[in-house]
């Protein structure tokens, strides 16, 4: 997703802008640009590709200045190209923008009628022309920016500068993140703190609806209507190196606890949105997805489990047929290709050899509508698909995938809603309820993490076992599979997952008092069926560990341990129910003393077949 850096200072700020953009590269982008005010007036440089290309242009031109704005663009409206790269200019002012302006078409029509000429396909260019237009009537730069953003619908963080006011930068946010960095020699703004740690730890986080004027020696913040507001200055504690362990004992533990932040970063674009836009999946998403006939999901390991959960969503909510394949199988299988299939590849690393090969296989068979859901923007997978959604989990170091999984699920849910909308299956009321549920998700996950002490207690019961069974039904069956994978991967306990209805078709023979049985049991339409399956286990002496939720009436009894998750979360409950399973595996592994972050025989990124 786009990243912003802005600066006004008593020094050449170009190196700060470029380093800031490099720090924001993890967000994902396809082009970069900057605008400066210097002796040339307003100077703009833009490049498709990496920040390194922009840096080369800076070196070539010797561009320098005391005031500037810079941007990495992740295309939503308009293909990645130099003409669509930010900053966008109108009448001596330049704008960079992160987010999506939902009413850009109406604004564009109006501005065109007023004589403004558009040189890009972006929604951002309307902001530049709108501010230029408002300046004609208000005469004041800050007032004109506020008057303009009052007309915007959607999510945005913006930074604006103006040639004739060389020591002033205006910024604003609604939905997309933006913070200020303060120093004695000038003031800065950026999409996240990591971009500004190079110059300061003194940060001011802007609230939604805040606008700020940055001068070299001062700044002020107002609401959109001009009312002045104070926002607290904080000392950033962020490590300059985000892959440090900090207070945690293992990366896996850190990454489990980072899930609320990872989810809120991944869902950033819907932060203030009133609707779900296909552009979330890339500039060409609407065209690519419109007449898709079916979905084929290809992935490995944990990413494959994310795909299995998504199948339930895609078929039930979007009404589209979906199949999910293990990449290493699909790549060698004689399947029946259909060019109207959307091929969805899921991978944390984007470098998994089997997933890449499976994608090549699908493309070779004429299936060119491809989407990557991936955590690494520069990865091979992302480069080779037509559409992409970058999960913003941040670096995942532990071999056992945790935050990558939950952010993949969030991305797949968004895909489901986009398809449901394009297929006319999402009413406005339903859409708004879904957006509310997604926005609350990070808080809901944080509440589940508070169950750690009880889960730790349960872990002691498993440590001496050799085997475990995981049960689930419906979309929680893949969650049971993921729980079993986590347990075997890091504790080396043999664990298997079954769809609970399959129990009496074989695995029930394994159940005795030595076999702990873990059940994923949210209060959904299958709960009564699941309860019957659990009775069958109990009747054979199996010890039950049940992850229920707030709505479920399951009670503790002899041999039946029940933990209630704080909320019932409907279609998204899979995202909550995997968290206690991650914590359980982690604590069992701790008791058993295994190498949690680097389990034997495994690698983080499986780049060989
Ligand atoms: O990077 P990927 O998501 O493509 O990796 C796929 C699997 O190798 C991976 O999910 C693996 O199963 C995890 N280590 C499990 O925790």
Centroid of ligand 1 to alpha carbon of 396 (angstroms): 11
Closest atom of ligand 1 to CA, residue 604: 14
> Tokens 């079916």 map to which residue?
294
3-state class of 103 per DSSP? coil
pLDDT at 15 (0 to 100): 97
Q: Which two tokens stand for residue 198?
A: 């190079």
Name which residue leads in pLDDT, 505 or 284: 505
Identify the CA nearest to 81 among candidates 374, 279, 311, 283: 283
Whether residue 349 has its Cβ less than 6 Å from ligand 1: yes
Indicate whether 29 pLDDT > 90.
Answer: no
Whether residue 66 has its Cβ less than 6 Å from ligand 1: no
Whether residue 328 has its Cβ less than 6 Å from ligand 1: no
Average pLDDT over residues 432-461: 95
pLDDT at 177 (0 to 100): 77
- Band (pLDDT 50/70/90 cuts) for residue 28 is low
Average pLDDT over residues 157-174: 96
pLDDT at 237 (0 to 100): 65
Asked if domains 251-445 and 452-592 share a fold, the reply is: yes
Whether residue 326 has its Cβ less than 6 Å from ligand 1: no
Hey, CA dihedral for 290, 358, 316, 574, is it positive or negative? negative
Average pLDDT of the residues of the chain: 92
Whether residue 380 has its Cβ less than 6 Å from ligand 1: no
Q: Per-residue pLDDT tens for 510-557?
A: 988 889 999 999 888 888 888 888 888 888 888 999 999 987 778 888
Extents of the domains making up the chain: 3-243, 251-445, 452-592
Centroid of ligand 1 to alpha carbon of 28 (angstroms): 20
Centroid of ligand 1 to alpha carbon of 371 (angstroms): 18
Centroid of ligand 1 to alpha carbon of 339 (angstroms): 28
Q: Per-residue pLDDT tens for 290-301?
A: 899 999 999 999
By annotation, the residues acting in catalysis are: 2, 604
Whether residue 33 has its Cβ less than 6 Å from ligand 1: no
- Band (pLDDT 50/70/90 cuts) for residue 23 is confident
The single-letter DSSP state of residue 117 is: P
Centroid of ligand 1 to alpha carbon of 253 (angstroms): 17
Average pLDDT over residues 397-424: 96
Q: Per-residue pLDDT tens for 239-283?
A: 555 556 778 999 999 999 999 999 999 998 787 778 888 888 888
Hey, CA dihedral for 557, 561, 563, 569, is it positive or negative? negative
Whether residue 407 has its Cβ less than 6 Å from ligand 1: no
CATH architecture of 251-445: 3-Layer(aba) Sandwich (3.40)
pLDDT at 80 (0 to 100): 85
**Mutate which of 345, 348, 406, 589 for ligand 1 pocket (most atoms within 8 A of beta carbon):** 348
Indicate whether 603 pLDDT > 80.
Answer: no
Closest atom of ligand 1 to CA, residue 486: 16
Whether residue 375 has its Cβ less than 6 Å from ligand 1: no
Q: Per-residue pLDDT tens for 91-126?
A: 999 999 988 888 999 999 999 999 999 999 998 999
Distance CA 241, CA 252 (A): 17
pLDDT at 368 (0 to 100): 96
For the chain, first and last CA: distance in Å?
31
Whether residue 300 has its Cβ less than 6 Å from ligand 1: yes
CATH number of the structural domain 452-592? 3.40.50.10490
Instruction: Name the residue at shortest CA distance from atom 12 of ligand 1.
Output: 301
pLDDT at 95 (0 to 100): 98
Average pLDDT over residues 36-40: 94
Distance CA 134, CA 270 (A): 28
Distance CA 245, CA 254 (A): 7
**Mutate which of 252, 301, 385, 598 for ligand 1 pocket (most atoms within 8 A of beta carbon):** 301
pLDDT at 421 (0 to 100): 94
Instruction: Name the residue at shortest CA distance from atom 7 of ligand 1.
Output: 301
Whether residue 606 has its Cβ less than 6 Å from ligand 1: yes
- Band (pLDDT 50/70/90 cuts) for residue 136 is very high
- Select the CATH number that applies to the domain covering 3-243 from these four: 1.10.3720.10, 3.60.20.10, 3.40.50.1700, 3.30.930.10: 3.60.20.10
**Mutate which of 302, 407, 492 for ligand 1 pocket (most atoms within 8 A of beta carbon):** 302
**Mutate which of 256, 303, 585 for ligand 1 pocket (most atoms within 8 A of beta carbon):** 303
Whether residue 585 has its Cβ less than 6 Å from ligand 1: no
Q: Per-residue pLDDT tens for 370-408?
A: 999 999 876 778 889 999 999 999 888 889 999 999 999
Indicate whether 608 pLDDT > 60.
Answer: no
Q: Per-residue pLDDT tens for 208-228?
A: 899 999 999 999 999 999 999
3-state class of 383 per DSSP? helix
pLDDT at 436 (0 to 100): 93
Whether residue 266 has its Cβ less than 6 Å from ligand 1: no
pLDDT at 241 (0 to 100): 55
Distance CA 26, CA 83 (A): 23
User: How would DSSP label each residue in 184-246?
Assistant: TTEEEEESSGGGTTTT-SEEEEPPTTEEEEE-SS-EEEEETTS-EE---EEE----SSTT--T
Q: Per-residue pLDDT tens for 467-479?
A: 999 999 999 999 9
Whether residue 581 has its Cβ less than 6 Å from ligand 1: no
pLDDT at 272 (0 to 100): 73
Single pTM value for the model:
0.73
pLDDT > 90: what percent of the chain?
Answer: 71
580 phi/psi in degrees, rounded to 5:
-65, -30
Centroid of ligand 1 to alpha carbon of 274 (angstroms): 34
**Mutate which of 251, 300, 376, 589 for ligand 1 pocket (most atoms within 8 A of beta carbon):** 300
Hey, CA dihedral for 201, 207, 208, 212, is it positive or negative? negative
Instruction: Name the residue at shortest CA distance from atom 4 of ligand 1.
Output: 347
- Band (pLDDT 50/70/90 cuts) for residue 334 is very high
Closest atom of ligand 1 to CA, residue 381: 4
């Amino acid at each position: 997703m786009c990243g912003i850096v802005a600066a006004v200072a008593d020094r050449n700020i170009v190196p700060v802008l470029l380093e800031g953009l490099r720090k924001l590269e993890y967000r994902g982008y396809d082009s970069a640009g900057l605008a400066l005010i210097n002796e040339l007036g307003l100077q703009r440089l833009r490049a498709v590709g990496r920040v390194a290309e922009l840096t080369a242009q800076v070196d070539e031109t010797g561009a320098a200045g005391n005031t500037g704005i810079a941007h990495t663009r992740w295309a939503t409206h308009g293909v990645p190209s130099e003409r669509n790269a930010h900053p966008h200019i109108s009448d001596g002012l330049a704008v960079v923008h992160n987010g999506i302006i939902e009413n850009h078409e109406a604004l564009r029509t109006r501005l065109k009628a007023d004589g403004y000429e558009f040189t890009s396909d972006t929604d951002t260019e309307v902001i530049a022309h709108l501010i230029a237009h408002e300046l004609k009537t208000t005469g004041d730069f800050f007032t004109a920016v506020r008057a303009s953003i009052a007309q915007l619908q959607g999510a945005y963080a913006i930074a604006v500068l103006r040639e004739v006011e060389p020591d002033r930068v205006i910024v604003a946010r609604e939905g997309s993140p933006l913070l200020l960095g303060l120093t004695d020699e000038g003031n800065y703004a950026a999409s996240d703190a990591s971009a500004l740690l190079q110059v300061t730890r003194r940060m001011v986080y802007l609230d939604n609806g805040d606008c700020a004027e940055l001068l070299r020696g001062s700044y002020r913040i107002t609401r959109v209507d001009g009312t002045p507001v104070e926002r607290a200055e904080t000392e950033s504690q962020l490590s300059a190196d985000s892959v440090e362990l900090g207070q945690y004992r293992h990366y896996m533990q850190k990454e489990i606890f980072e899930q609320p932040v990872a989810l809120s970063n991944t869902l950033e674009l819907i932060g203030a949105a009133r609707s779900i836009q296909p552009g979330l999946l890339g500039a060409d998403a609407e065209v690519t997805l419109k007449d898709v006939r079916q979905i084929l999901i290809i992935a490995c390991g944990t990413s494959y489990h994310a795909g299995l959960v998504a199948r339930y969503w895609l078929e039930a909510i979007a009404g589209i047929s979906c199949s999910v394949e293990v990449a290493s199988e699909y790549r060698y299988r004689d399947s029946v290709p259909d060019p109207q299939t959307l091929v969805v590849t899921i991978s944390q690393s984007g470098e998994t050899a089997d997933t890449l090969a499976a994608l090549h296989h699908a493309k070779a068979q004429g299936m060119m509508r491809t989407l990557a859901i991936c955590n690494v923007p520069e990865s091979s997978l992302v480069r080779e698909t037509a559409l992409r959604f970058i999960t913003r989990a941040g670096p995942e170091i532990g071999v056992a995938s945790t935050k990558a999984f939950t952010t993949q699920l969030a991305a797949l849910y968004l895909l489901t809603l986009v398809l449901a909308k394009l297929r006319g299956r999402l009413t406005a009321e339903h859409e708004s309820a879904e957006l509310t549920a997604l926005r609350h998700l990070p808080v809901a996950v944080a509440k589940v993490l508070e169950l750690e002490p009880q889960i730790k207690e349960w872990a002691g019961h498993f440590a001496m076992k050799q085997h475990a069974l995981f049960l689930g039904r419906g979309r929680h069956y893949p969650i049971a599979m993921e729980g079993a994978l986590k347990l075997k991967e890091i504790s080396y306990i043999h664990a298997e997952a079954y769809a609970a209805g399959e129990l009496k078709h074989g695995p029930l023979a394994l159940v005795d008092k030595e076999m702990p049985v873990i059940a994923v049991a949210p209060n959904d339409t299958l709960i009564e069926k699941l309860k019957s399956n659990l009775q069958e286990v109990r009747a054979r002496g199996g010890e039950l560990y049940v992850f229920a939720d707030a709505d479920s009436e399951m009670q503790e009894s002899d041999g039946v341990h029940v933990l209630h998750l704080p909320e019932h979360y409907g279609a998204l409950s899979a995202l909550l129910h995997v968290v206690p399973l991650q914590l359980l595996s982690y604590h069992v592994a701790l008791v058993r003393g295994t190498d949690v972050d680097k389990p034997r025989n495994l690698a983080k990124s499986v780049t060989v077949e």
